[in-house]
Structures are given as structure tokens and as C-alpha cells.
């Protein structure tokens, strides 16, 4: 009989205050622990240059994503990133305007 892993809820990182009205620059810094694939790290959330939250992410994606899990921006087509938002593009679509998305990969382990 094979062992089944229990599904754990995804890690949650949230700001200590609500996002201000109007345009905002939102940034997430992730500092990887290193030491191999799939390890954790510390996530720090910034809004308009001010640190608004920080938390621990215990594990990361160790290899590649499946073909049906994509890097969605403005909606979540597959596995929801938060509980209670629904599933699929119609239920999870962001109705504001995203002017720019920048992904920077720094040196690391």
C-alpha cells in the first residue's frame, strides 16, 4: 500500500495593512534558504517602498511546473493561490489594471 501525503494548506503571506487606494508598486522579495531543491525561505512584502509584511515559506517548487500550472498574472487559471477566491479565470480575474510585471532572478544558491 502506498503512502499518501496529506495536503497541507498553502503558505500565506499578507500585509499588515490594507493596500492603499490608487496606483501602487507591490514587491515580494524571497530569500531562499539554499541547501538543495524545494527548500524554504523568507518572503518580505513591500508596498510603495514600505515593508508591510514578512513570513516564512517552508518549501518551494523543486523542479518544473506541470503543463497546466502557469505563471498567471491577474487571474488564477488552475490551483487557487488563496482560499475562498474560487477556481478559474472568471472567478479569480483581477478587475483593476496591472501596468507592469517584473520578475527578477538574483544570484543565489
What average pLDDT values come out for the chain (109 residues) when binned by 10 residues? 49 71 88 91 91 88 73 70 68 80 72
pTM for the model: 0.65
d(CA 33, CA 108): 9
Q: Is the dihedral of CA 42, 40, 100, 20 positive or negative?
A: negative
pLDDT value for 58: 87
Reported residue count of the chain is 109
Amino acid at each position: 500500500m502506498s503512502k499518501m501525503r496529506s495536503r497541507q494548506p498553502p503558505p500565506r503571506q499578507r500585509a499588515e495593512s490594507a493596500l492603499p487606494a490608487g496606483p501602487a508598486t507591490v514587491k515580494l522579495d524571497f530569500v531562499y534558504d539554499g541547501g538543495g531543491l524545494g527548500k524554504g525561505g523568507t518572503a518580505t512584502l513591500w508596498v510603495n517602498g514600505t515593508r508591510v509584511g514578512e513570513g516564512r515559506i517552508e518549501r518551494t517548487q523543486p523542479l518544473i511546473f506541470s503543463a497546466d500550472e502557469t505563471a498567471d498574472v491577474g487571474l488564477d487559471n488552475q490551483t487557487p493561490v488563496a482560499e475562498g477566491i474560487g477556481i478559474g479565470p472568471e472567478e479569480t480575474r483581477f478587475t483593476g489594471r496591472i501596468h507592469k510585471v517584473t520578475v527578477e532572478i538574483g544570484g543565489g544558491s
